[in-house]
């Protein structure tokens, strides 16, 4: 029993559904004995991970698909134990250092040192290096990125690093310049629709085009989200109809409600209630920058241009502060308060 997302994930570079030219380039890259560090960048759900796995398979054969998950423990200089989940095969290791929070530096360095100081035993026909896949690379702290940059050079003989990031903006130039960047754009609408329809065909279901289009719309061209939504929709109502309901992401619904509450009333008491809701979102693990973005998108809807500009100005300022602060909630609340103030005063002067 697997999710459709995994079940129908292409396993080989030649079988990828879109960006076929790029896939061909990647295959060429694998044919050579040498191989630089890579950085895959693109929005969420564009298929970065799929491409990385295909690439690894191309290099090492099907052995990379024998995955096991393991929890590794690292000890920070301050003697704190950090646990990180990893997925690995004999040839590669995949890790999410961002799960270690502020201790990601230790994780990155220790991991690479451990891996790099071991050699592949069967060199025949295999690569002489292993691959470390770092996902969510843009969540790495600056500290960890700085640490990574020299380590990458130092252990280049025994290991290669593939970083997967949503955007290169947050990656320090030193790392960007050490990696070959591979841009993975999100698939366009027709591509997603055809993938959805193929999937349904293989599942033995008929998918009306209207529904497929609506799924694409709702998923914001995020293929993973589209597939998950479709599967959830199928679970809700088995033979698809064109106008059936597509499940929402609950945190987005929650965020929309929060935004409309902010619009409805601008008082400290309301702000207090909003704070509770923001806490709720944060405890569910929704990253604060997504909350920021979602709030801005919703809040500016009914405002005129000058308020929009002001809102964005404050949003950028507080979001930036949030990056250098530790308490995300402070800055989220500051933004909400600021917006309430702008909205209220403009409303007063208008009426």
Contact 208, 242 (CB under 8 A): yes
Binds other proteins (CB under 8 A): choice among 8, 12, 27, 86:
86
**Whole-number minimum distance, CB 15 to other proteins, in Å?**
18
Residue 348 binds other proteins, judged by CB under 8 A? no
Interface size with other proteins, residues (CB under 8 A)? 145
Question: What is the contact mask toward other proteins in residues 54 to 83, using x (rule: CB under 8 A)?
Answer: -------------xxxxxx----x------
**DSSP secondary structure letters along 170-211:** GS-HHHHTTSEEEE-PPP-HHHHHHHHHHHHHHHT----HHH
Q: How far is the CB of 113 from other proteins (least distance, A)?
A: 9
- 296 lies in the binding site for other proteins (CB under 8 A): yes
Contact in structure between 266 and 340 (CB atoms under 8 Å)? yes
Piece in contact with other proteins (CB under 8 A), picked from 45-53, 56-64, 195-203, 209-217: 45-53
**Judged by CB under 8 A, does residue 183 bind other proteins?**
yes
Q: 37 by DSSP, 3-state: which?
A: coil
One character per residue 253-292, x = contact with other proteins (rule: CB under 8 A):
-------------xxx--xx--x---x--xxxxxx-xx-x
Name which of residues 90 to 149 contact other proteins (CB under 8 A).
90, 93-94, 96, 98-99, 109, 114-121, 127-130, 135-136, 139, 142-143, 146-149
**CA proximity to 302, closest of 342, 351, 263, 350:** 263
CA dihedral 341, 342, 343, 348 (to 10 degrees): 90
**Distance in Å, CB of 296 to other proteins, minimum:** 6
User: Are the CB atoms for 133 and 94 separated by under 8 Å?
Assistant: yes
Residue 298 CB, nearest distance to other proteins (Å)?
12
| Contact with other proteins (CB under 8 A) among 305, 348, 349, 351 | 305
Q: Is the dihedral of CA 324, 168, 30, 149 positive or negative?
A: negative
Site string for other proteins, 5-44 (x = CB under 8 A): -x--------------------------xxxxx---xxxx
Give the ranges where 204-249 is alpha helix by DSSP (H): 209-219, 223-236
The least CB distance from residue 258 to other proteins, in Å, is 15
Judge contact between 119 and 158, C-beta under 8 A. yes
Q: In what order do the strands lie in the sheet with 68-75?
A: 68-75, 81-88, 92-95, 130-134, 159-165, 38-41, 180-183
Distance CA 275, CA 278 (A): 5
Least distance from other proteins to the Cβ atom of residue 278, Å? 10
């Amino acid at each position: 029993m697997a999710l459709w997302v995994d079940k129908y994930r292409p396993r080989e570079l030649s079988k990828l559904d879109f960006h076929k030219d790029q896939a061909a380039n990647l295959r060429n890259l694998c044919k050579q004995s040498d191989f630089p560090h890579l950085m895959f960048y693109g929005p969420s759900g564009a298929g970065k991970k799929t491409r990385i796995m295909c690439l690894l398979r191309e290099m090492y054969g099907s052995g990379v698909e024998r995955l096991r998950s393991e929890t590794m423990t690292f000890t920070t200089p301050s003697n704190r134990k950090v646990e990180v989940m990893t997925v690995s095969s004999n040839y590669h290791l995949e890790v999410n250092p961002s799960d270690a929070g502020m201790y990601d530096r230790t994780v990155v360095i220790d991991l690479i040192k451990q891996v790099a100081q071991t050699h592949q035993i069967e060199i025949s026909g295999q690569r002489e290096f292993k691959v470390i896949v770092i996902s969510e690379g843009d969540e790495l702290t600056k500290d960890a990125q700085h640490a990574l940059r020299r380590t990458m050079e130092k252990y280049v003989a025994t290991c290669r690093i593939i970083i997967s990031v949503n955007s290169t903006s947050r990656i320090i130039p030193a790392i960007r310049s050490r990696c070959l960047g591979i841009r993975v754009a999100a698939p366009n609408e027709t591509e997603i629709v055809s993938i959805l329809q193929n999937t349904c065909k293989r599942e033995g279901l008929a998918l009306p085009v209207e529904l497929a289009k609506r799924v694409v719309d709702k998923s914001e061209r995020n293929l993973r989200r589209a597939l998950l939504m479709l599967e959830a929709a199928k679970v809700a109502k088995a033979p698809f109809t064109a106008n059936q309901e597509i499940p929402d992401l609950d945190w987005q619904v929650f965020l929309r409600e929060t935004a409309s509450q902010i619009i409805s009333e601008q008082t400290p008491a309301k702000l207090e209630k909003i704070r509770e809701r923001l806490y709720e979102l944060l405890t569910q693990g929704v990253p604060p920058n997504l909350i920021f973005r979602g709030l801005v998108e919703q809040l500016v809807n009914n405002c005129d241009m000058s308020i929009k500009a002001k809102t964005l100005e404050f949003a950028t300022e507080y979001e930036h502060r949030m990056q250098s602060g530790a308490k995300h909630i402070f800055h989220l609340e500051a933004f909400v308060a600021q917006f309430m103030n702008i909205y209220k005063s403009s409303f007063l002067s208008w009426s």
